Amino acid sequence: MKSEIIEDSPLITLVGPPNSGKTTLFNYLSGKNYKTVNYPGATVEYSISKLQKKFNFEANILDSPGIISLVPNSPDEKVTIDSLYSHPRFGIPDLVILTIDASQLSRHLLLAKQLLDSNFKIIIALTMTDLLQRKGYNISTSELGKELKCDVIKIDGRTGNGIEQLVKSIELNLEKIKALGNNLPKQIHNNFNVEYLLSSFNDFELIEKKVTSKILIEQKQINLNKANRQLKVLNNDLVKNNYLDTTTLKIDNILLHKIWGIIIFFIIMAITFTSIFWLARPLMNIVDTSFGFLSFSVHNFLGINWFSDFVSNGIINGTGAVLIFVPQILILFLILGLLEDTGYLARGAMLVDKPLSKIGLNGRSFVPMLSGFACAIPAILSTRTIPNKRERLLTIFIIPLMSCSARLPVYALLLAFLFPAKESWVAGLALASIYILSIISSTVMASIINKFKNKIINAEDNSSFILELPAYRLPKFSVVLSNSYHSAKIYFKKAGPIILILSSLIWFFTYFPNYNPKINSSNLSQEKVIQLQNSERLSSSYAADLGRFIQPVMTPIGMDWRVGVSLISAFAAREVFVSSLALIFKVTDSEHKLQSSILSEMRKAKIEGTNKFLFTPATITGLIIFFVFALQCISTLAVSRKETGSWRIPIIQFFLFTFIAYLFTFLTVNGLRAIGIN
């Protein structure tokens, strides 16, 4: 990730197992606000920044994907290990800060041992100590430091306690390295066997007993192959001694139950998407009124001319038609952030592991699939955490079927057409059904593709799934709110310029050639005259010429060229479909209600040359189905090509999903008409 750095300054690399607090520490040291979540795969590429000025010395800090050892098991782990031994730009780090979860000490010491044996200069940042302290346990950092022969500092990622002490340790270590020099690291861990692991972990348990007060851990030889095949607590003595979080275990007995767990999961998802409508409505009304008032004021100020039309309709109405849905997107990010921070979403991955295994995937695919609800691009990037190549490619293939946040403005508008505002709870349930449909369609597609894997996805199949479940914790609302704000801001920055450019282009193609028809206005109001002029101008515009070319494709699904032009414009950004409709129908309103004006025009619109209404329950439902399946995103295709290494899969995705979208839209529209729903 591109960020501000200081040339010729020491490089500090942060490494650690997933869910060990590494990215949280990076945020404290750099003053940045990169997202951190409690399941593997949040960091898929390194982030780099400079140390905050308040610490009074200069250094660059590099954050990287989580690893459990120096032997990579997935593409994102390889990114971290390659950057350790020789970063392509920054070279070898002067100092490595290793984050270790204090409640998982014996397991996380393997990475510390490997780093020390490889001649890296390290400082251990001991995190999650509050989980031990609540049970009356403590780890002696001085004793652990003597055992490992490196500095060990306790830090609290939620309060920032220990950060100053860690910074002092960093400064002292960098001064020593500058005076004595730094040995080049050596790659001594190309592989290791079960005997090596068992011997090492027995040593680590001895170290843990020595440095941890009030705990005795019986040394046991663990059957690793058996443990890999089933989820179970391997050491009951840990539970008896209250070393494990018994509250977490009790909650998991319910939330990970094979029946109740799935039911609760679907209830939580239904509440989430229903809340998007219910909670966002007041904010949407404010945004709607603001843009409507601004457009009306600008139009009155500039008068009736092409420039006034461009600013009020092309820019303000075109952009406002999409930005009205930002509150819903923000609430989506906020609710998912709360679920992440509590530790529940990691359980979601465990719940869906068994169902996903039936279609050729495993629980690791859950994180990218869930990320696809926000945006397909980071979701595809996060598949790098999946070690198995076949599962990684299969996950990439189905991610575009997940209903991303760019589809939300489209769904919101179309559902608002079907359901009155007073029935927003019904629209919320319908939205939840759409998201469930996207999940079902993606799993069905994965199952079908998996049957033809040798023809479409030809890769080795040696799958396994091991996931470290974090303890349940109360979410820190300020952090979740901040992350949600930044996620929404990223969406705005990504979508805003595209929306502005395409809105301007669509306005141009719907306004020119600037034919100014003469309307007999003797018995008509000024507003009606303007509407008739806009309608005549639109029918002779460049957009109409393009639309009539694709009209034969639109007729079988009960729509005309205007919807076709909007669908084409949505290929660059799905949310542009809404602003395209606003521009094509020349939405204006004296009551300053932009969304209600779009809906009003949609309800009055008729198929060109007929008396049949263009938008009906049948065609609106068909459009929803189209957006569920169609891959209308150039950026997604580009990222898919980058991550799969060729154009083969992206091309198959585009043509297959577009064909399925059109086919199901045709069946939906004509099927509903056949049973009298029109």
* Dihedral sign for Cα atoms in the order 96, 101, 102, 105: negative
CA separation for the pair 612, 238 (Å, rounded): 71
**Could you give the CA distance from residue 592 to residue 297 in angstroms, rounded to a whole number?**
9
* Domain boundary assignment for the chain: 11-194, 260-462+474-478, 496-674
DSSP per residue over 243-312, as a string?
A: -S-HHHHHHHHHHT-TTHHHHHHHHHHHHHHHHHHHHHHHHHHHHHHHHHHHHHHHHHHH-SSHHHHIII
> Distance (Å, rounded) from C-alpha 290 to C-alpha 320?
9
The DSSP 8-state label assigned to residue 125 in this structure reads E
For residues 266 and 95, the model is more confident at 95
Give the mean pLDDT of 88-93. 79
Q: Average pLDDT of 645-654?
A: 86
Residue 452, class by beta-carbon neighbours within 10 Å (0-12 exposed, 13-18 middle, 19+ buried)? exposed
Residues 6+ apart with CB under 8 A from 357: 463, 465
Q: What is the DSSP string of 197-251?
A: HHHHHHHHHHHHHHHEET---------HHHHHHS---S-HHHHHTT-S-HHHHHH
Q: Are 579 and 321 in contact (CB under 8 A)?
A: yes
The reported pLDDT for the residue numbered 627 is 92
Range in 22-31, 440-449, 456-465 with the lowest mean pLDDT: 456-465
Query: Cβ(79)–Cβ(45) under 8 Å?
Result: yes
For residues 364 and 538, give the distance between their C-alpha atoms in angstroms, rounded to a whole number. Answer: 50
What band does 212 get if pLDDT is binned at 50, 70 and 90?
Answer: confident
If you average pLDDT over residues 262-276, what whole number do you get? 75
| Ranges 128-132, 396-400, 671-675: which has the least confidence | 128-132
Residue 161 has a CB neighbour count (10 Å cut-off) of 13
The model's pLDDT over 314-364, given as tens digits with 9 standing for 90+, comes to 788 767 766 776 776 677 777 777 877 777 777 776 777 677 777 777 667
C-alpha–C-alpha distance, residues 499 and 386, integer Å: 34
Distances (CA, A) of 146 to 111, 121, 207, 437, 472: 17, 15, 10, 56, 32
Q: Which of 15-24, 40-49, 335-344, 408-417 has the lowest mean pLDDT?
A: 40-49
pLDDT digits (tens, 9 = 90+) for 37-60: 444 444 445 678 888 888 888 888
Q: What is d(CA 543, CA 562) in angstroms, rounded to the nearest whole number? A: 8
DSSP labels, 61-110: EEE----SSSS--SHHHHHHHHHHHHBTTTBS-SEEEEEEEGGGHHHHHH
What's the confidence (pLDDT) of residue 549? 82
What does the pLDDT average to over 585-593?
A: 57
The average confidence (pLDDT) of the chain is: 75
The CATH code that applies to domain 11-194 is: 3.40.50.300
pLDDT at position 3, please? Answer: 47
Amino acid at 215: I
Confidence of residue 525 (pLDDT cuts 50, 70, 90): low
Question: 138 φ, ψ to 5°?
Answer: -150, 150
- CB 563 within 8 Å of CB 623: yes
pLDDT band at 290 (very low <50, low <70, confident <90, very high): confident
In the predicted model, is pLDDT for residue 204 greater than 70?
yes
Largest CA distance in the chain: 97
Q: What angle do CA 595, 601, 602 make, to 5 degrees?
A: 90
Query: According to the model, what pLDDT value does residue 591 have?
Result: 46
Mind giving me the DSSP string for 353-402?
Answer: HHHHHTTT--GGGHHHHHHTTT-HHHHHHGGGG---HHHHHHHHHHGGGS
Would you list the DSSP string of 613-664? BSS-HHHHHHHHHHHHH----HHHHHHHHHHHSSSHHHHHHHHHHHHHHHHH
pLDDT at 590: 46
pLDDT at 534 over 70: no
Task: Tabulate helix, strand, coil % of the chain (nearest 5).
Answer: 65, 5, 30
Compare 520 and 476 and report the one with higher pLDDT. 476
3-state secondary structure of 53: helix
In this predicted structure, what is the pLDDT of residue 2? 44
Mean pLDDT of 533-550: 71
Residue 208 pLDDT > 90: no
Among 175-179, 614-618, 639-643, name the one with the lowest average pLDDT: 639-643
Token digits of residue 154: 């306790």
